[in-house]
Amino acid sequence: MNPTGKAKNAAELAKPLADKVALVTGGTRGIGKAIAQKLASLGAGVSICGRDEERLLRTAREFARDGVRVHAQKADVSRNSDVTALLQATEKKLGPISILVNNAGIGMFGPVHEKSEEDWDRVMNTNLKSVFLVTCAVAPGMIARKSGDIINISSLAGKNTFAGGALYCASKWGLQGLTGCMAEDLRGSGIRVSAICPGSVATEFSGRGPKDPSKVLTAEDVAHAVAMVVTQGPQSFISEVDLRPVGKPGAK
């Protein structure tokens, strides 16, 4: 093989997602931003959305300076009209979406009897309804192309309970069920649906108190798991990844 061929093959190996477009909801900070950066480093064009327009534009400029094909749009992904506009603008600028990462989420903690109906709606709409809406918007195109990856960022709280976690756990337990059913509905169309379930992550996310950085995950750990899922061989799919820190939180 000539040197030109070798260089081309090396480039292809370094950028396995060069022909892909990824939509990452909640992609302006924390886990979402790390995921978008990781997918971009593997060659994908990325579309990010968020509710904070200033942060969104700042993140988009940062990505563009690094040579990333990027689209950034203010959107509330719990609103169908915002989702439709986001999908149309993304595909117009970058092309068909081949990777969807449903990452947008919030945490709200405390005794269940102290929470309001508004609290319930806010958590469920952001953590669960948004996944339904964005998936319903993106899936038809993936079905037509008979390929695609959908990754839902869930949590180990979707499998465990703890005091003060009622709203958050309910949303993530629901997301676990939704993800499993989505996987069965779409696998016949060549679409792989996976859940990433991290434990505690050191981010700006509204958690339950200060975290020892040596005993929690980083946003980049979650991004690595997403990259693993989307670069696996074409004949298989990783349905779920449980991600824990090596150092156990709370241990002395």
CATH of residue 135: 3.40.50.720
Q: Report pLDDT digits (tens) over 116-140.
A: 999 999 999 999 999 999 999 999 9
Position 8 in a domain: no
Helices first, then strands: H and E counts in the chain: 8, 7
Position 214 in a domain: yes
| Model confidence, pTM | 0.91
- Helix, strand, coil percentages, rounded to 5, for the chain: 50, 15, 35
Task: Quote the pLDDT of residue 206.
Answer: 47
Q: How many structural domains comprise the chain?
A: 1
Which range marks the domain in which residue 102 is found?
18-243
Position 4 in a domain: no
User: How are strands ordered across the β-sheet holding 21-25?
Assistant: 70-74, 45-50, 21-25, 99-102, 148-153, 191-198, 240-243
Q: In Å, how far are 15, 45, 64, 76, 161 from 80, measured between CA atoms?
A: 33, 23, 28, 9, 31
Q: Report pLDDT digits (tens) over 96-106.
A: 999 999 999 99
Position 251 in a domain: no
What's the 3-state SS for 221-244? HHHHHHHHHHCCCCCCCCCEEEEC
73 vs 11 pLDDT, higher one: 73
Sign of CA dihedral 76, 77, 83, 89: positive
Position 252 in a domain: no
Q: Report pLDDT digits (tens) over 41-98.
A: 999 999 999 999 999 999 999 999 999 999 999 999 999 999 999 999 999 999 999 9
Q: Report pLDDT digits (tens) over 205-246.
A: 545 555 677 778 999 999 999 999 999 998 999 999 999 998
Which DSSP helix (H) or strand (E) runs through 191? strand 191-198
Position 6 in a domain: no
- Six-digit token string for 181: 């059913």
Q: Is the pLDDT of residue 5 over 60?
A: no
Position 12 in a domain: no
Going by pLDDT thresholds of 50, 70 and 90, the confidence category of residue 250 is: low
**Among the listed residues 80, 117, 94, the one whose alpha carbon sits nearest the alpha carbon of residue 23:** 94
Position 28 in a domain: yes
> Mind telling me the catalytic residues?
168
